[in-house]
Structure 1
Amino acid sequence: MDNVEFVYPSIGYKKFVPEGHALLIKKALYETLQLKSTDFDPPLYFNKKTSNNGSISYTFLLLYVDDCLVVSNSQESIDIICKALSERFKIKRFGLLGSKAKFFIGLEVENVEGNFIIHQTDRTDSLFNEFKQLNLTPKNSPMNKILLKHEQLETILENLRYIYRYVLEKLAYISCSLWPDIAYAVNACAKFANSPKMPHMKALTRILCYVLKTNDVKIVFKFREKELFKSSYGLLLFIFSNSVYWKSKQLIYTSLSRFKDELTALTEGIKIVCCVQKLMEITEIGNIKPIVFCDNLSVINAVKRNRSCTTRAKHIKISYQWLQEQLENIDLRYCSSDNQKADFLTKLLSGTKLSLGEV
């Protein structure tokens, strides 16, 4: 760094820094100036190569800061890329993921009879040890009631607010990478991160109790023959019966129309499906027509009508017309709420009903 930079200590470090002092940054991986998203290189690279004997190799390189994962159906392609990287950078090869290498960006990966098993036992065990003084007891569900603002109550103390945000950060990470069933509860707690009250702290503790209950649950990516992949919104995306993406998102506006909410959710879900479909076309996996399940029959009927936008949906006419154009490449089907696998991403479910199915 060419310039002298100081940062104000965060809450967790205040006890180590005298009052009125700041921290001097000696070195940093990144500039302190805010970078635009357009300034970053893409994290995923793809290469397709045809050998002299006609066989085709597909190679993917996934880059996250200084961690790199190379995936290919050709060991020769992996060796070529690793050799090229070693000529320009100092690298260390950890071996086959799931066998010799067990960790990648916080995920623990095991390879058992060709099936990849993903979990975060070490990370969650470490989190439980940090807060063992809470005497956590296992719970069957991550949340048992809807969180309110509780404006009549006082905000918790500063040190507890730090603990609240610290635990929330940990839970947000594992919900994105492994625990889709706590995504809704974590998002609900995140809304009160600036001024949490004691009921919010208790709700966050309950999520920890649920993670403790399900700590031995792992995601299995099974090796299977090609099947149709399925997706739905909350968004739960399956490729060859393996769950690869999930999303629980609250709309940023207040809507007066449930029809509009359902149509917006369907649009966001099909956007993700289209991206995955393009990726599968690049890799030439096969001409597979994706299936999208929606639990609102009126939205399905409206989109499938070969006519102009209905009166109650005129304000989102562009999304409506775009959805109709996608029906040529996507199989849109109705699915009842009882059979909707993404149902747990949008509402509270009891412990008996909460089930991950193939997840």
Structure 2
Amino acid sequence: MMKHYEMTDLGLLYHFLGMGVVQTNNFIFLHQKKYAMKVIERFGLKGCKSVATPLIANERLCKEDGSEMADESEYRQIVGSLLYLTATRPDIMFASSLLARFMHNPTRKHMGTAKRVLRYVQGTFEYGVEYKKGKAATLIGYCDSDWAGSEDDRRIALSTAEAEYVSAAEATSQAKWLRFILEDFGEEQVEGTPILCDNTSAIAMAKNPVFHQKSRHISRKFHFIREAIQAKEIELIYCKSEDQIADILTKALSKDRFVYLRNLLGVKTVKGLEGSVDK
């Protein structure tokens, strides 16, 4: 980077903004172990029994669930702490984002769910994000939607395919922005960015204009995905549902499914990495 930016070499980086950094010849590993431990202790859960997943599979939260009101200040502090932890722990991104929907008037059920996420963190202090060295900076996207997953706002009558289509359009928007950013960093994406979708009907809808007549109720702003495909900025590709990494970012999963996708996401423990060192 010194060839592109004016900077001083202070040697290997070990800590940055509360993050721990482990560097070897094979990878760079980022974690927030110390911060996570402080969060657990701060909210009185030090030494608590850990759980295997941050959320219970298929459990849904809503604004009014019949339970009593919880301490709003404490709830907001927990959720804020979890959101900061997602910098190196994308495996709790969905849980943290879900809890953030209930910052106003949280209930005891919301608080219980937030503390469950903390219990999951308790058992995964050593986890962080692995970045392997030597890999090309190739942008790849995954898109998925949890159809009618919210109890509070699932009033729009979209089919599963249409919901996936909207999700693909949002992913396309993000891909176009990230392509622009990478080009600024000297990592221009020459080929179209592959976006993996597990719904063949949504892919057909994006590639075939005839399908637009059947989806007039979808906002026109989502149809720009066809222009991006024609301009070869993106390439919408089918992937099997079991390989859809975006599932871990859109819904609560069973233990086996969650652990499998967490590994694909690159969230691992430093002790299990080849050539790792203790810091």
- Please state which band the TM-score falls in when normalised by the shorter chain: 0.7 to 0.9
CA 1:336–1:124: 2 relative to 1, 3 Å: same
How big is each residue's C-alpha offset from its partner over 1:70-99, in whole Å with a ceiling of 9 and x where there is no partner? xx152xx54xx35xxxxxxxxxx7824xx2
SS at 1:203's partner residue? helix
CA 1:150–1:284: 2 relative to 1, 3 Å: closer
How big is each residue's C-alpha offset from its partner over 1:148-198, in whole Å with a ceiling of 9 and x where there is no partner? 344533213xxx3322111111001112x1222222222222222222222
Instruction: Provide the residue aligned with 2:225 in structure 1.
Output: 323
SS at 1:333's partner residue? strand
CA RMSD of aligned residues (A): 2.7
AA partner of residue 108 (structure 2): M
CA 1:192–1:225: 2 relative to 1, 3 Å: closer
Does 2:143 correspond to 1:233? yes
Q: 1:301 aligns with which of 204, 225, 249?
A: 204
How big is each residue's C-alpha offset from its partner over 1:263-322, in whole Å with a ceiling of 9 and x where there is no partner? 2211111111112222333415562332110112111011111547222235423421x1
Instruction: Provide the residue aligned with 2:156 in structure 1.
Output: 255
- How far apart are 1:102 and its partner, in Å? 2.3
Does 2:30 correspond to 1:118? yes
Q: Please give the alpha-carbon distance, in whole angstroms, between the structure 2 residues aligned to 1:116 and 1:288.
A: 26
Q: Please give the alpha-carbon distance, in whole angstroms, between the structure 2 residues aligned to 1:281 and 1:154.
A: 51
Q: Please give the alpha-carbon distance, in whole angstroms, between the structure 1 residues aligned to 2:63 and 2:99.
A: 10
% of aligned pairs identical? Answer: 21
Q: Please give the alpha-carbon distance, in whole angstroms, between the structure 2 residues aligned to 1:133 and 1:318.
A: 46
- How far apart are 1:121 and its partner, in Å? 0.8
- How far apart are 1:132 and its partner, in Å? 3.9
Structure with more helix by fraction = 2
Q: Please give the alpha-carbon distance, in whole angstroms, between the structure 1 residues aligned to 2:189 and 2:222.
A: 28
In terms of mean alpha carbon deviation, does 261-270 or 220-229 score higher? Answer: 220-229
Instruction: Provide the residue aligned with 1:345 in structure 2.
Output: 249
Q: Please give the alpha-carbon distance, in whole angstroms, between the structure 2 residues aligned to 1:146 and 1:306.
A: 36
Q: Please give the alpha-carbon distance, in whole angstroms, between the structure 1 residues aligned to 2:144 and 2:126.
A: 24
Structure possessing the higher radius of gyration over alpha carbons: 1
CA 1:293–1:222: 2 relative to 1, 3 Å: same
Instruction: Provide the residue aligned with 1:95 in structure 2.
Output: 10
Does 2:64 correspond to 1:154? no
Q: Please give the alpha-carbon distance, in whole angstroms, between the structure 1 residues aligned to 2:64 and 2:47.
A: 26
AA partner of residue 43 (structure 2): F
Determine if contact 1:107/1:119 at 8 Å carries over to the other structure.
yes
What TM-score do you get using the length of structure 1 for normalisation?
0.63
Instruction: Provide the residue aligned with 2:78 in structure 1.
Output: 167
Instruction: Provide the residue aligned with 2:274 in structure 1.
Output: none
Unaligned runs of 5+ residues in structure 2 are 267-279
In terms of mean alpha carbon deviation, does 121-130 or 304-313 score higher? Answer: 304-313
CA 1:190–1:345: 2 relative to 1, 3 Å: same
AA partner of residue 188 (structure 1): L
SS at 2:54's partner residue? coil
In terms of mean alpha carbon deviation, does 259-268 or 146-155 score higher? Answer: 146-155
SS at 1:256's partner residue? coil
SS at 1:353's partner residue? helix
Does 2:120 correspond to 1:210? yes
AA partner of residue 298 (structure 1): S
What TM-score do you get using the length of structure 2 for normalisation?
0.79
Structure with more strand by fraction = 1
Instruction: Provide the residue aligned with 1:85 in structure 2.
Output: none
How big is each residue's C-alpha offset from its partner over 1:206-254, in whole Å with a ceiling of 9 and x where there is no partner? 000111122211211111243753211259xxxxxxxxxxxxx989773
Unaligned runs of 5+ residues in structure 1 are 1-71, 83-92, 236-248
Q: Please give the alpha-carbon distance, in whole angstroms, between the structure 1 residues aligned to 2:135 and 2:107.
A: 50
SS at 1:291's partner residue? strand
Instruction: Provide the residue aligned with 1:55 in structure 2.
Output: none
Q: Give the paired residue count.
A: 253
Q: Please give the alpha-carbon distance, in whole angstroms, between the structure 1 residues aligned to 2:101 and 2:174.
A: 25
Q: Please give the alpha-carbon distance, in whole angstroms, between the structure 2 residues aligned to 1:332 and 1:134.
A: 45
